[in-house]
């Protein structure tokens, strides 16, 4: 509960057995009412460890980061505010309070945790990730006039605002979809610096591999151009 508001934390996780327990266990439960870990068919003990540390565990058979988030939004307990965070320990749960206070104090609808504005541990962000993020943010600024500095996973949003976004991307287009739609619909957007650590254990599924980075980059840039194209078609 944060200043009388119900807060839910959503963590998509795939094969994060080593990192997920300590991560879930270190969340300040005076701020967060419930934690949902969405497991996409992990082959390790991710689900058991998350549950043992107090998370509700959902299973989603449809693979993908966005599918997991959508499952939690649809089936999670009620909340006024939803916080999203990765399951590999890269984001620091101690910074949840900073996202929440900015959301409330600045009367924002969406608060993005910006890793480029915060302090990143050496090696936490790859060159491809930094370049891809900067490019996507520059495009969003050019096309919609909203200035973001990151597409990081760590973020907080009011549930009512999220419903207006009608999120759909089942994969790694999820974060950019939320930010583009927030810009299109004129949500009140803020950023706060967050720190970013090297994943605490386990294997990378995205930016740690060349193929993963390429797929995510293609999906993100593809989303930006498609969104603009659709907007243009609707107007003409
Ligand atoms: N539910 C679900 N979670 C996923 C899937 N793929 C990745 N994840 C989770 O999404 C988060 C981001 O994936 P990572 O592999 O850490 O990607 P990254 O942060 O770009 O790369 P790292 O440098 O390894 O941290 C992690 O919490 C993963 O467990 C998926 O298909 N389903
Ligand atoms: Mg990661």
Nearest CA owner, ligand 1 atom 9: 13
- In this structure, which ligand is nearest to the CA of 126? 1
| pLDDT reported for residue 183 | 98
Please state the domain extents for the chain. 7-124+149-201
Determine the pLDDT at residue 188. Answer: 98
End-to-end Cα, the chain, rounded Å:
46
- CATH number, domain 7-124+149-201, options 3.40.50.2000, 3.60.15.10, 3.90.550.10, 3.30.70.2860: 3.90.550.10
Reply yes or no on whether the pLDDT at 209 is more than 90: no
The answer to whether residue 210 scores a pLDDT higher than 90 is no
Q: Which atom of ligand 1 has the smallest separation from the CA of 126?
A: 23
Nearest CA to ligand 1 atom 30: 64
**203 Cα to the center of ligand 2, angstroms:** 9
Q: How far is the CA of 205 from the centre of ligand 1 (A)?
A: 5
Q: Determine the distance separating the centroid of ligand 1 and the alpha carbon of 189, expressed in angstroms.
A: 25
Per-residue confidence band for 14, with pLDDT thresholds at 50, 70 and 90: very high
CA of 6: how far to CAs of 62, 79, 108, 157, 187, in Å?
A: 28, 5, 16, 12, 20
């Amino acid at each position: 509960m944060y200043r009388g508001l119900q807060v839910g934390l959503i963590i998509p996780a795939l094969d994060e057995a080593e990192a997920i327990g300590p991560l879930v266990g270190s969340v300040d439960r005076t701020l967060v009412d419930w934690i949902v870990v969405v497991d996409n068919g992990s082959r390790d003990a991710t689900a058991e460890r998350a549950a043992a540390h107090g998370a509700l565990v959902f299973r989603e058979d449809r693979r993908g980061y966005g599918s997991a988030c959508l499952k939690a939004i649809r089936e999670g307990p009620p909340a006024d505010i939803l916080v999203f965070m990765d399951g590999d320990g890269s984001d620091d749960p101690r910074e949840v309070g900073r996202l929440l206070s900015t959301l409330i104090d600045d009367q924002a609808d969406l608060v993005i945790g910006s890793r480029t504005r915060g302090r990143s541990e050496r090696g936490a962000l790859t060159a491809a990730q930094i370049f891809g993020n900067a490019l996507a943010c520059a495009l969003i600024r050019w096309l919609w006039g909203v200035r973001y500095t990151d597409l990081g996973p760590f973020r907080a949003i009011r549930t009512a605002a999220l419903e207006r976004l009608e999120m759909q991307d089942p994969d790694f287009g999820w974060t950019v979809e939320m930010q583009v739609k927030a810009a299109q619909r004129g949500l009140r957007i803020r950023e706060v610096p967050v720190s970013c650590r090297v994943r605490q254990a386990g294997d990378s599924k995205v930016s740690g591999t060349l193929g993963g980075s390429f797929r995510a980059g293609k999906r993100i840039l593809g989303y930006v151009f498609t969104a603009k194209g659709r907007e243009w078609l609707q107007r003409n």
